[in-house]
Amino acid sequence: MEQAQNKVLQLEYQLFNLACIISAAAALAIALLDIFVTGHVVSFFLDLTGFVIFSIFYYLSKNESIYRQLVFPFVIILYTLINLSWFFQGGGFNFSDTVIFFLIFIVSLLIIPRKYRIHLIIFTSINILTLIIIENVNTDFRYQYTDRAMEVFVSDIFVILLFAIGGYLILNFKRKYEDLSGQLIETYEKVKESNIDLENTIHKRTSELKKVNKELDRLFYRSSHDFRRPLTTLMGINEVARLMDLREDTMQLFKMMNTTVGSMDNMLKKFYNLYEISHYLEEKRLVSLSAIVEKYEDQLLKEGHIIKTVVNLKKYDDMDPKNSLIDIIFLNLIENAILFSSGKHAEISLKITENKNFLNIQVEDKGIGIDEIYYDRIFEMYFRSNERPHGNGLGLYVVKTALDRLHGSITVKSEKKRYTQFNISIPY
């Protein structure tokens, strides 16, 4: 398609060059005719001027990038010269003048942009009508042939030959142009058919993907609920076992089982988090941001951890629907801080501020830190470095997924064995 369009443009460029050559050649030939046959000195200089002008146009048109800017000046000068020629020769719509005028009209019609052709037709019609009116009103402008039969004959023969050559070249270009236009139309139809087939294929594949996604959603939801039931039962049995007077080795086995079950339960919670994130806009869960912060303060203090919170909000809506995902973000960042704390109890600071319609959240812990080489990978699913053997590798992935849903961003700063700081920005 593009190749055919380039060929059409190249053909239009060649047609303009040919129009310049024909016009320059015609002007020179008519100038020689005027000086040696008809003896019109004024017309000779006019024709010579046309030859120089059209030669300049041909020279300028060699620069393919600017030839389109030359089309309108070229047509205007063509019409100006033929009107001046009519005036200085005393008028007269004889055969020669009519053929030349018609030839110039055809050339102009072919080289001018398609959307302006109707304007050219109207302008030419008005031009001819004006000259006819002038001739009928003022008889001095009627060209007289009574004593110049040989001159008129020679002039007519020359014009006929000129018209024949120009007409042949123009028709040849027209044929090539129509061939290329046919190729363009054929190519367009093929592309159109291909697009229809492609759209049908995409629609079919999209329907299949929607079906698969729906099934995966159902699996996420059911697994996070149904699979947790036996795990919850096992954890309950473990709690009962801890109250019984069992041997130390048996109690140790129950502790190991409780750790494994707890890890599996935590992973299923992450799956449910991902389900909530994917259905965030469908199942809006309204919750207060201040209530979320208070919940984690109470929970961490109850478990013996240290938490410092700073909340400074003025414009942000405390009941914004985004809070349901912010809750998930807090949950996973706090779990991550506890999991990788340097001591038995974690020390966490939480800071929430706003700036120019952005909610800024900073979560920092005094834990083991993260090596800088892992900054770009810690948000990948199931990523666990050798220095981070604990966890299921899903917590920070869940955080990043929730932020992507909120069109937010997250960066990390850390220093080994000192601290890890996550900075979050969420538009609202």
pLDDT at residue 155 tops 60: no
Top-confidence residue, 345 or 249: 345
If pLDDT is split at 50, 70 and 90, which confidence band does 147 have?
very low
* 266 in any annotated domain: no
* 95 in any annotated domain: yes
Amino acid 140: pLDDT? 65
Over residues 325-349, mean pLDDT: 90
How many domains does the structure of the chain reveal?
2
Top-confidence residue, 26 or 102: 26
pLDDT digits (tens, 9 = 90+) for 351-403: 999 998 899 999 999 988 888 888 888 898 878 765 555 667 788 999 999 99
Last residue of a domain, one of 168, 192, 216: 192
* 227 in any annotated domain: no
Contact indicator for 332, 399 with CB cutoff of 8 Å: yes
Same domain for 185 and 321, yes or no, is: no
CA distance 341 to 419: 9
pLDDT at residue 229 tops 60: yes
* 208 in any annotated domain: no
Last residue of a domain, one of 192, 218, 246: 192
* 300 in any annotated domain: yes
CA distance 214 to 216: 5
Structure tokens at 23: 């016009």
Amino acid 83: pLDDT? 79
CA distance 423 to 409: 8
SS (H, E, C) 347-386: EEEEEEEECCCEEEEEEEECECCCCHHHCCCCCCCCCCCC
Name the range with the highest mean pLDDT among 15-24, 30-39, 179-188, 388-397.
15-24
Same domain for 303 and 182, yes or no, is: no
* 395 in any annotated domain: yes
pLDDT digits (tens, 9 = 90+) for 255-313: 777 777 777 777 778 878 888 888 887 766 788 999 999 999 999 999 999 999 999 99
If pLDDT is split at 50, 70 and 90, which confidence band does 341 have?
confident
**What residue type is assigned to position 380 of the chain?**
E
* 212 in any annotated domain: no
Residue 365 structural domain: 280-427
Q: What is the largest CA-CA distance in the chain?
A: 143
Q: Range with the lowest mean pLDDT among 120-124, 311-315, 420-424?
A: 120-124
Name the range with the highest mean pLDDT among 167-171, 236-240, 310-314.
310-314
Over residues 312-339, mean pLDDT: 92
CA distance 223 to 274: 12
Same domain for 36 and 181, yes or no, is: yes
Contact indicator for 381, 423 with CB cutoff of 8 Å: no
Same domain for 14 and 162, yes or no, is: yes
If pLDDT is split at 50, 70 and 90, which confidence band does 350 have?
very high
pLDDT at residue 1 tops 90: no
Same domain for 164 and 310, yes or no, is: no
pLDDT digits (tens, 9 = 90+) for 126-141: 887 887 787 777 766 6
Contact indicator for 350, 310 with CB cutoff of 8 Å: yes
Amino acid 265: pLDDT? 74
Q: Range with the lowest mean pLDDT among 253-267, 317-331, 396-410?
A: 253-267
Same domain for 186 and 318, yes or no, is: no
Q: Are strands 306-312 and 347-354 parallel, antiparallel or unpaired?
A: parallel
Please return the burial class of 398, using the count of CB atoms within 10 Å of its CB with bins 0-12, 13-18 and 19+. buried
Same domain for 108 and 6, yes or no, is: yes
Structure tokens at 226: 């149904």
If pLDDT is split at 50, 70 and 90, which confidence band does 232 have?
confident
Rounded to two decimals, what is the model's pTM?
0.50
For the beta carbon of residue 51, count every other beta carbon within 10 angstroms.
20
* 258 in any annotated domain: no
Same domain for 169 and 285, yes or no, is: no
pLDDT digits (tens, 9 = 90+) for 205-218: 877 777 766 666 66
If pLDDT is split at 50, 70 and 90, which confidence band does 35 have?
confident
CATH number, domain with residue 335: 3.30.565.10
Top-confidence residue, 419 or 81: 419
Phi and psi at residue 306, to the nearest 5°: -110, 130
For the beta carbon of residue 193, count every other beta carbon within 10 angstroms.
10
If pLDDT is split at 50, 70 and 90, which confidence band does 145 have?
very low
Phi and psi at residue 25, to the nearest 5°: -65, -45
- The DSSP symbol for 303 reads T
- The DSSP symbol for 37 reads I
Same domain for 170 and 289, yes or no, is: no
Please return the burial class of 264, using the count of CB atoms within 10 Å of its CB with bins 0-12, 13-18 and 19+. middle
pLDDT at residue 8 tops 70: no
Same domain for 183 and 306, yes or no, is: no
If pLDDT is split at 50, 70 and 90, which confidence band does 246 have?
low
Contact indicator for 239, 255 with CB cutoff of 8 Å: no
Q: How many residues does the chain have?
A: 428
SS (H, E, C) 136-166: HHCHHHCCCCCCCHHHHHHHHHHHHHHHHHH
pLDDT at residue 159 tops 70: no
Please give the mean pLDDT across all residues of the chain: 78
Last residue of a domain, one of 192, 209, 231: 192
With CA atoms as reference, report the closest residue to 166 among 114, 97, 99.
99
